[in-house]
Amino acid sequence: MRSPALARLNYRAVSGLTRTARFQSQGFLSSRCVSTAALRSPGVAPAYQSVLKQWGQRRNASAAASAVLEAAAASPETLSQAAIIDNLDPVEAARLDKVRNIGIAAHIDSGKTTATERVLFYTGRIKAIHDVRGRDGVGAKMDSMDLEREKGITIQSAATFCDWVKKDKDGVDQKYHVNLIDTPGHIDFTIEVERALRVLDGAVMILCAVSGVQSQTITVDRQMRRYNVPRISFVNKMDRMGANPFKAIEQINAKLKMPAAAVQVPIGAEDEFEGVVDLIRMKAIYNVGESGEELKETEIPDKLKKLAEERRAMLIETVADVDDQMAEMFLDEVEPTADQLRAAIRRATIALKFTPVFMGSALANKSVQPMLDGVVDYLPNPSEVENLALDQKRNEASVKLVPYNSLPFVGLAFKLEESNFGQLTYIRVYQGTLRKGSNVFNARNNKKVKVPRIVRMHSNEMEEVTEIGAGEICAVFGIDCASGDTFTDGQLGYSMSSMFVPEPVISLSIKPKQSKDAANFSKAMARFQREDPTFRVFYDNESEQTIISGMGELHLDIYVERMRREYHVDCETGQPQVAYRETIGSHTPFDHLLKKQTGGAGDYARVMGYMEPTGALEENQFEQQVVGGSISEKYLFACEKGFNLSCEKGPLIGHKILGTRMIINDGATHMTDSSEMAFKIATQQAFRKAFIESQPSVLEPLMKTVVTAPSEFQGDVIALLNKRGATINDTETGVDEFTIYADCSLNGMFGFSSNLRAATQGKGEYTMEFSHYEKAPPHVQKELIAKHLKAQADRNKK
């Protein structure tokens, strides 16, 4: 047995090494062979030696193999981690195979919450179905906040878990553990989608059978791509008039540029929608029972046989385009078996090259279970997704995390929530096991914290557990941290990248109506800010106002309302303000001297250099190019501080600066009168002077806006948009609806929702998403500057 196994031994690759150890533990190789391999491998040698020391140099066969595996596991080396991933332990592999972490994301009102309610019911997690805005007035399980139930919208993502039993190909029941997050559709709550997708392994993208791909579907698609999240698609609302799943599939292909094909065809449509034909097994599936809890399978009805064959052929062809194995079979004209087809769809979906499309009606309790089968069949388990961390102990080298329970713990806190029992921190465990009572370390500040309580969340309810294994999601009480912090066991110096946080674009002043509420007001502000990184609060010293900013009017309205309901604080708010920015005009040199030397300790600082645009309207930059020590390091540091402070409040209208670079290349220092403070102030003064001289501009946020309304209102809506100075980029006309894609300044869009409602008899809808900053029109700039000057003058008078 030695020689073939030895042939596989690659002394340099640690992946080979761990494989070798495995062979050895199975008795194929000699211990000397494994030890030599371990000692020659830079990735494992130090850890191996220390393990050997503990083991007392015993080098018998299985001891050496275990030592290598243990060393590889404990070693922070990328390769050894990769090796384990390539070579999953069969017990761990079997456990992970039964876990799915998925999110449900879609455009507003597509039926995410309704579908999740069915999933919870069919998996036995809840005993009865309650609908969003349902007649029983209870509301869906996942919309647990009163405000969500009243408005019928999801505001916060909610996590839950359930077990789904699916028969394997031998007809044996297999139980899958599904962690599920239902996310909001409104763009104002987009951070909830960002953080959910950051930690999930797969997603169900829901589309409306009538509207197909909508503006938020495009945003969700972008977010899924950002975090490499594979998805299956579910065309919901097949019972609605005008339902057409094939149009939705065409749009996924064309608009999202994601190869998609139906894995089902509908049996009937609109109010005659009865069920689906499964194109993999070529069977018809119907839901029976009061809430569709049972499935009945029959042969395909004759009238649908042709359609099913055609669509199956299209499915195979689309998958063959993105999967080599299927391509080979397709070219050889070999008809794939159900298992082969399923495996190819799975490979292509996980490789982010394809999305299989399911269809049904969540509200009518039809065809939700086959979509759940799809989650199991086509979405990855935690070991099939690459999760990387940076090893801070090794120059931030990137390391693959291995979802083994036995390895050192690594987890990411992705969401914080205040609850009646204190702060609740949602954690995705990427590696190792999180145990109640254990200590974990926050990688950001290296603080040790004890884990007092671990729970699994079921919307707003929780179930206490003592430990959570790798690849799972849980929530922990009593840990003080920020959203996006990485936790480890303390030995590893790993940290994981956080999620993308978009900048707020809208703000308003706010204060409690009654001064007795000040304490509660501050408490609420602190909490909301901690929970939601897109909600910011700051106190403007000049105007002596508290300013809140966020992603849109709805976002801020919801917080004002929550303040009233949850903290009993009634607030007064100012007019919503746009988050303008200021930017420099052109290259402008400066030579500025700050000098006060009249008796006592004086102030002296001279800074020279130039300011210029960075080229992109993004981060500001400070650079020092001082040679010869005319300004010392210490003072240059103070200059940078001065620059950063200046960027916070621009000279034109007091808004933040963007796209501006300052270079200090010379200056002068006085032996006794120079100080850090003097250099900081000199830089601020130089900044102000040069900035104003450069012919700067005010920038305003430009919003991508999508308006949909019934066709008869097209003219009115266009007129409305034109009046608000929008640039219309595209118009799509559907059967009885049209969609307009436009760019509008945020400033021009205040109050648009009520105008649109009035112009379309309440039938028009729109979404608005920040796109980029652009120079505001000259008359707007003038107005803003004049307003700012007046406000300053008024304050000075006081």
Ligand X SMILES: Nc1nc2c(ncn2[C@@H]2O[C@H](COP(=O)(O)OP(=O)(O)OP(=O)(O)O)[C@@H](O)[C@H]2O)c(=O)[nH]1
CB 746 within 8 A of CB 666: no
Q: What DSSP character marks residue 515? A: G
466 by Cβ neighbours in 10 Å (0-12 / 13-18 / 19+) ranks as exposed
Handedness of CA 339, 340, 345, 346 (dihedral sign): positive
CB 426 within 8 A of CB 415: yes
Binding residue per annotation — 237?
yes
Looking at 75, 101, 110, 387, which residue binds ligand X (CB under 6 A)?
110
Nearest-approach distance from CB 551 to ligand X, in angstroms:
15
- What's the Cα-to-Cα distance from 73 to each of 69, 173, 405, rounded to whole Å? 6, 33, 11
Query: Closer CB to ligand X, residue 192 or residue 517?
Result: 192
Binding residue per annotation — 108?
yes
Taking the alpha carbons at both ends of the chain, their separation in whole angstroms is 93
Query: Closer CB to ligand X, residue 116 or residue 355?
Result: 116
CA–CA separation, 573 vs 620, rounded Å? 31
CA–CA separation, 505 vs 578, rounded Å? 6
Looking at 5, 6, 39, 108, which residue binds ligand X (CB under 6 A)?
108
Q: Which of residues 231-260 bind ligand X (CB under 6 A)?
A: 236-237, 239-240
CA–CA separation, 366 vs 486, rounded Å? 41
Q: How many residues bind ligand X (CB under 6 A)?
A: 24
CB atoms within 10 A of CB 681: 17
Binding residue per annotation — 403?
no
Residue nearest ligand X (C-beta atom): 185
Q: What DSSP character marks residue 712? A: G
Q: Which of residues 123-152 bind ligand X (CB under 6 A)?
A: 131-133, 152
Query: Closer CB to ligand X, residue 116 or residue 674?
Result: 116
Query: Closer CB to ligand X, residue 109 or residue 612?
Result: 109
Binding residue per annotation — 109?
yes
Strand order in the sheet with 231-236: 158-167, 173-182, 99-106, 202-208, 231-236, 355-359, 260-262
- What's the Cα-to-Cα distance from 507 to each of 456, 541, 577, 751, rounded to whole Å? 36, 16, 5, 15
Q: Which of residues 167-186 bind ligand X (CB under 6 A)?
A: 184-185
Stretch that binds ligand X, among 108-116, 371-379, 405-413, 510-518 (CB under 6 A): 108-116
- Rule CB under 6 A: say whether 158 interacts with ligand X: no
Q: Which of residues 342-361 bind ligand X (CB under 6 A)?
A: 361
Query: Closer CB to ligand X, residue 109 or residue 489?
Result: 109
CA–CA separation, 502 vs 521, rounded Å? 25
User: How far out from the chain centre does Cα 208 lie?
Assistant: 22
Binding residue per annotation — 184?
yes
DSSP bridge pairs for 106: 206
Nearest-approach distance from CB 19 to ligand X, in angstroms:
46
- Rule CB under 6 A: say whether 114 interacts with ligand X: yes
Binding residue per annotation — 111?
yes
Nearest-approach distance from CB 155 to ligand X, in angstroms:
8
CA angle 503, 506, 510 (to 5 degrees): 120
- Rule CB under 6 A: say whether 507 interacts with ligand X: no
Ranges assigned E (strand) in 551-620: 571-573, 577-578, 581-583, 588-596, 603-613
DSSP bridge pairs for 154: none
Query: Closer CB to ligand X, residue 61 or residue 364?
Result: 364
**What is 672-687 written as a DSSP string?**
TT--HHHHHHHHHHHH
Binding residue per annotation — 182?
yes
Tokens for 671? 């032996």
Query: Closer CB to ligand X, residue 104 or residue 776?
Result: 104
Query: Closer CB to ligand X, residue 291 or residue 337?
Result: 291
Binding residue per annotation — 239?
yes
- Rule CB under 6 A: say whether 154 interacts with ligand X: yes
Nearest-approach distance from CB 771 to ligand X, in angstroms:
21
Nearest-approach distance from CB 735 to ligand X, in angstroms:
17
Nearest-approach distance from CB 200 to ligand X, in angstroms:
17
Nearest-approach distance from CB 293 to ligand X, in angstroms:
16
What residues have CB less than 8 Å from 229, skipping those under 6 apart? 103, 197, 200, 201, 202, 203, 223
DSSP bridge pairs for 698: 582
Nearest-approach distance from CB 185 to ligand X, in angstroms:
2
Query: Closer CB to ligand X, residue 150 or residue 570?
Result: 150
Q: Which of residues 78-107 bind ligand X (CB under 6 A)?
A: 106
Binding residue per annotation — 654?
no
Q: Residues marked as binding?
A: 106-113, 182-186, 236-239
Residues forming contacts to ligand X in the complex (CB under 6 A) are 106, 108-114, 131-133, 152-154, 184-185, 236-237, 239-240, 361-364
Q: Residues marked as binding for GTP?
A: 106-113, 182-186, 236-239
